[in-house]
């Protein structure tokens, strides 16, 4: 089902997260299909029409989710999306570039899209309402990629690798890969390097000594622009931004042997070019310019199946300078499961996607000595009680708490030292005062040492 731009408005779906659950479980109402899209909220930025990329940030201080939305004319917006039906701009950074941006810990690293100089900046957003641009700079770049190990990869020209752990305000340069370096994706100590003319796969287990383990240079590809891999790591979904019909917009490669990528299948839209994509489990999320936001079911990673789309763009098709308008960025790594889509020039859209329950963000600070694994509560949705299971890799003081959509703490289930291994806690829908809470969406967050994880659940009555 393809949604028109006005298919649903935020006013109609002010309680969209709960309504979605009721739709899937209510008697006599057809269940939503895997990958179906529901618009939850939208915010426009009237001070600019040059919206670029979007990324997410979870504040350890406010316990809220924020969307970071780039502005090509300079700076970026910080938007409180803890209540996704009513997103609120809390601040605007104006003295840093905003072409691309990625957070790590409580810092945002942003660049101007150019390939020369040292105009990229670092902004401290420990207080999202009062961000502070720092004096430190790093090399100008077109895009920025973060790893969970605290390494930053800036692309164009070449790829410069930085260590953020030792000194995040003045990052150390570890290595430079001398190629074009347009964009990249880091997954499990591999860097998928899309440098326009070809695609390289690097082993970056040791970021001081990257090892090239695979490459692809297909003359029918117009531009190796961006991409992501399947959850098993055997397939790569590559966006060809310059492709125009009949050249396919996306190419799926079998990379089970990274030294010899093999084209498996293509994805095309005759009306639009494609910009970027990301994978979470069995869903592929795509920012598809004037075609809007698209979701594909990749339960079979070799054969993506179109699930749904929402056309964020007012443009019916590409027309001259309009070719780069529409859905520019997509961010599906939120703990809550809400998907952020930035539209050039229409602002920020917030969606729920059937079957997508959230993920530990791709840019959590590095925690080398402790890992936590937080499972989805069961049952979910639930009434009257549910069980939350989690695992600690080392003994630690653990805290498991429940929060409402405003970020207010509702109930603390665990706050004590725990042994290494598996643990469980039950919540019966009461707050810390023993009062029953109302139906709706809640978040539960586990913190142990420097590691943390958050998931979403729904209470029905």
| Chain segment 163-186, per-residue pLDDT in tens | 998 889 999 899 998 888 899 999
Average pLDDT over residues 343-367: 74
User: Does position 128 have pLDDT exceeding 70, yes or no?
Assistant: yes
CATH topology agreement for domains 2-353 and 372-459: no
- pLDDT at residue 366 in the model: 35
Whole-angstrom distance, CA of residue 262 vs CA of residue 173: 34
pLDDT in tens, 191-212: 999 999 999 999 999 999 999 9
Q: Tell me if residue 219 falls in helix, strand or coil.
A: coil
Q: Which two tokens stand for residue 16?
A: 């969209």
> Between the CA atoms of 125, 131, 136 and 142, what dihedral angle is there, to the nearest 10 degrees?
80
Whole-angstrom distance, CA of residue 141 vs CA of residue 96: 13
The listed CATH number (3.30.300.10, 1.20.1090.10, 1.10.530.10, 2.60.40.4070) that belongs to domain 372-459: 2.60.40.4070
- The answer to whether 263 and 253 have CB atoms below 8 angstroms apart is yes
Sheet holding 451-459, edge to edge: 409-418, 396-403, 440-448, 451-459
pLDDT in tens, 228-249: 999 999 999 999 999 988 999 9
Whole-angstrom distance, CA of residue 54 vs CA of residue 60: 20
Whole-angstrom distance, CA of residue 190 vs CA of residue 176: 16
Residues 6+ apart with CB under 8 A from 435: none
Confidence of residue 153 (pLDDT cuts 50, 70, 90): very high
User: Does position 45 have pLDDT exceeding 60, yes or no?
Assistant: yes
Q: Which two tokens stand for residue 240?
A: 């060809």
Q: What angle do CA 229, 276, 216 make, to 5 degrees?
A: 55
Q: Tell me if residue 355 falls in helix, strand or coil.
A: coil
Mean pLDDT, rounded, of the chain: 87
Whole-angstrom distance, CA of residue 375 vs CA of residue 368: 20
- pLDDT at residue 103 in the model: 95
Whole-angstrom distance, CA of residue 28 vs CA of residue 212: 55
Better pLDDT: 399 or 370:
399
Domain ranges for the chain, please list them.
Answer: 2-353, 372-459
Name the least confident of 24-28, 161-165, 275-279, 438-442.
24-28
**Residue 321 backbone dihedrals phi, psi, to 5 degrees:** -70, -5
**Residue 81 backbone dihedrals phi, psi, to 5 degrees:** -120, 25
Element at 369 (helix H, strand E): none
**Residue 311 backbone dihedrals phi, psi, to 5 degrees:** -85, 100
Whole-angstrom distance, CA of residue 157 vs CA of residue 423: 48
- pLDDT at residue 30 in the model: 56
- The answer to whether 117 and 140 have CB atoms below 8 angstroms apart is yes
Element at 186 (helix H, strand E): strand 183-187
> pLDDT > 70: what percent of the chain?
89
pTM of the complete model beyond 0.85: no
pLDDT in tens, 315-349: 776 666 667 899 999 999 998 899 999 998 899 99
Could you give the residue ranges of the DSSP H alpha helices within 261-414? none
**What homologous superfamily does CATH list for 2-353?**
YVTN repeat-like/Quinoprotein amine dehydrogenase (2.130.10.10)
User: Does position 428 have pLDDT exceeding 70, yes or no?
Assistant: yes
Q: Tell me if residue 286 falls in helix, strand or coil.
A: strand
- The answer to whether 112 and 137 have CB atoms below 8 angstroms apart is no
Whole-angstrom distance, CA of residue 136 vs CA of residue 131: 15
DSSP class of residue 438?
P
DSSP class of residue 366?
P
> pLDDT > 90: what percent of the chain?
62
User: Does position 310 have pLDDT exceeding 80, yes or no?
Assistant: yes
Please report how many Cα atoms fall inside a 13 Å half-sphere around the Cα of residue 266, on the Cβ side: 12
Q: What would the DSSP string read from start to end of 53-103?
A: EEEEEE-TTT--EEEEEEETTS-EEEEE-SSTTS-EEEEEE-SS--SEEEE
């Amino acid at each position: 089902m393809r949604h028109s731009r006005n298919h649903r408005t935020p006013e109609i779906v002010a309680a969209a997260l709960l309504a979605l659950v009721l739709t899937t479980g209510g008697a006599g109402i057809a269940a939503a299909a895997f990958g179906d899209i529901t618009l939850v909220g939208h915010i426009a930025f009237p001070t600019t029409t040059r919206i670029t990329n979007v990324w997410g940030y979870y504040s350890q201080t406010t316990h809220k989710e924020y969307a970071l939305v780039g502005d090509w004319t300079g700076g970026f917006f910080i938007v409180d999306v803890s209540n996704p039906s009513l997103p609120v701009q809390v601040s605007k950074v104006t003295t840093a570039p905003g072409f691309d941006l990625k957070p790590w810990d409580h810092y945002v690293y942003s660049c101007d899209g150019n390939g020369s100089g040292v105009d990229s900046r670092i902004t401290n957003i420990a207080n999202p309402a009062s961000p502070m641009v720092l004096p430190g700079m790093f090399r100008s770049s077109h895009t920025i990629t973060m790893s969970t190990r605290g390494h930053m990869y800036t692309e164009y020209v070449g790829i410069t690798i930085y260590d953020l752990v030792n000194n995040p305000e003045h990052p150390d340069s570890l290595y430079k890969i001398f190629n074009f370096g347009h964009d990249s994706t880091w997954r499990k100590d591999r860097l998928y390097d899309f440098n326009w003319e070809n695609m390289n796969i690097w082993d970056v287990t040791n970021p001081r000594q990257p090892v090239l383990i695979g490459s692809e240079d297909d003359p029918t590809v117009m531009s190796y622009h961006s991409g992501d891999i399947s959850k098993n790591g055997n397939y790569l979904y590559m966006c060809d931004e310059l492709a125009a019909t009949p050249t396919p917009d996306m190419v799926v490669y079998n990379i089970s042997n990274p030294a010899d990528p093999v084209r498996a299948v293509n994805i095309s839209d005759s009306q639009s070019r494609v910009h970027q994509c990301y994978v979470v489990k069995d869903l592929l999320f795509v920012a598809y310019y004037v075609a809007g936001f698209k979701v594909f079911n990749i339960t079979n990673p070799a054969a993506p199946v179109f699930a749904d789309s929402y056309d964020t763009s007012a443009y019916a098709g590409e027309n001259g300078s309009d070719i780069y308008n529409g859905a520019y960025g997509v961010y599906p790594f939120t703990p809550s499961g809400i998907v952020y889509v930035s539209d050039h020039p229409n602002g920020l859209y917030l969606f729920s996607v059937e079957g997508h329950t959230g993920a530990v963000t791709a840019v959590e600070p590095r925690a080398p000595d402790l890992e936590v694994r937080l499972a989805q509560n069961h049952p979910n949705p639930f009434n009257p009680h549910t069980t939350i299971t989690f695992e600690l890799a080392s003994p630690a003081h653990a805290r498991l708490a429940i929060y409402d959509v405003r970020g207010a703490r509702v109930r603390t289930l665990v706050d004590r030292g725990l042994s290494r291994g598996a643990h469980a806690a039950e919540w019966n829908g009461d707050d810390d005062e023993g009062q029953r809470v109302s139906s709706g969406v809640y978040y539960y967050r586990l913190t142990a040492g420097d590691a943390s994880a958050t998931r979403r659940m729904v209470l029905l009555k």
